[in-house]
């Protein structure tokens, strides 16, 4: 251990998470042979196989499982120890990893990205769509930050208070659901209330790794539910279908206001009383003192909050 290469710990961490040399090599941007050689060095260092091959990939040995919790703590301490004390965005070539819910792109990127390109022309943002693994990636510090939807309504299963204590957040903008219908929809001749809302079939878009909307949770508490005819994952396609059918589409109001101009659709209030939710910027507390991370957080928060 006198000449131990601490970069090997990064390899061990990724192998523990991926349980595959191929997947680990992809994440580390290394060849499979390079990862295999580093695994051999790790086995020699810890005098343990660390992983056993199975039909479903690698399986960590008891020794490797014992090392796992200490490993993350050591790597985070090393990150803090080597973190630069100053940051000049004009000289930085840092790559940030960000997960966002689909509807957050149009509400955030157009407002902070132009200034980012001026201040830091060589910085790169690698964005991926928020999914059910995004929280885990935040907790592992695999991504730098995320923008997702959270609720303030106490009846919601994704209330903002359910976030892990390991994460920090800042509310960017608040939002609430609205109904979209085609311009000559038959319900326009009826009284718009909860009964009418539930009479017609609905088109639902699931996004952000959330299977059920707050309004459905609230309706469930009242022993009522919407008749969902179609589930989709793309709002643009859903609005196109809504325009050509009698289906009712519920969508976040801010996103809908930007998109509805491209369709022959009308907007109605949702006849279900819910508290507005929020788009929140999330990050692991591990990054609190990182000057480059703080610079990007503040740029996003200030730019998007001005818009909101």
In a domain? residue 132: yes
Q: What is the CATH number of the domain that holds 130?
A: 3.40.190.10
Give me the pLDDT at residue 97, please. 93
pLDDT tens string 250-307: 999 998 998 888 899 999 999 999 999 999 999 999 888 889 999 999 999 999 975 5
In a domain? residue 87: no
Among 82, 113, 133, where does a domain finish?
82
In a domain? residue 89: no
Whether residues 36 and 62 fall in one domain: yes
| Average pLDDT, integer, range 64-85 | 75
Q: Do the Cβ atoms of 52 and 61 come closer than 8 Å?
A: yes
Whether residues 186 and 234 fall in one domain: yes
Whether residues 164 and 199 fall in one domain: no
What's the domain range around 188? 177-273
Number of separate domains in the chain: 3
Whether residues 63 and 44 fall in one domain: yes
Whether residues 141 and 253 fall in one domain: no
Among 30, 53, 82, where does a domain finish?
82
Whether residues 164 and 302 fall in one domain: yes
Whether residues 297 and 168 fall in one domain: yes
pLDDT tens string 77-101: 776 666 666 789 999 988 899 999 9
Whether residues 104 and 167 fall in one domain: yes
């Amino acid at each position: 251990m006198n000449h131990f290469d601490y970069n090997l710990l990064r390899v061990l961490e990724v192998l523990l998470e991926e349980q595959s040399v191929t997947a680990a090599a992809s994440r580390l941007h290394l060849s499979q042979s390079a990862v295999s050689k580093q695994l051999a060095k790790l086995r020699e260092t810890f005098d343990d196989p660390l992983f056993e091959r199975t039909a479903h990939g690698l399986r960590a040995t008891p020794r490797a499982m014992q090392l796992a919790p200490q490993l993350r703590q050591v790597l985070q301490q090393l990150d803090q120890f080597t973190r630069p004390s100053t940051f000049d965005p004009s000289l930085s070539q840092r790559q940030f990893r960000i997960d966002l819910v689909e509807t957050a792109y149009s509400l955030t990127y157009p407002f902070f990205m132009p200034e980012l390109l001026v201040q830091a022309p060589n910085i790169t943002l690698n964005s991926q769509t928020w999914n059910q693994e995004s929280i885990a990636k935040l907790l592992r510090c695999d991504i730098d930050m995320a923008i997702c939807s959270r609720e303030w309504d106490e009846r919601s299963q994704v209330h903002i208070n359910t976030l892990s204590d390991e994460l920090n957040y800042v509310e960017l903008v608040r939002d609430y659901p609205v109904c979209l219908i085609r311009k000559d929809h038959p319900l326009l001749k009826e009284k718009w209330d909860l009964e009418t809302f539930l009479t017609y079939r609905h088109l639902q878009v699931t996004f952000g790794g959330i299977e059920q909307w707050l309004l459905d949770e609230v309706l469930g508490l009242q022993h009522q539910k919407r008749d969902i005819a179609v589930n989709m994952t793309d709002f643009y396609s859903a609005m196109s279908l809504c325009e050509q059918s009698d289906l009712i589409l519920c969508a976040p109001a801010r996103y809908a206001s930007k998109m509805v101009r491209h369709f022959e659709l009308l907007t109605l209030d949702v006849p279900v009383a819910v508290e507005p939710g929020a788009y929140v910027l999330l990050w692991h507390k591990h990054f609190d003192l990182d000057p480059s991370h703080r610079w990007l957080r503040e740029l996003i928060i200030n730019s998007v909050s001005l818009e909101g």
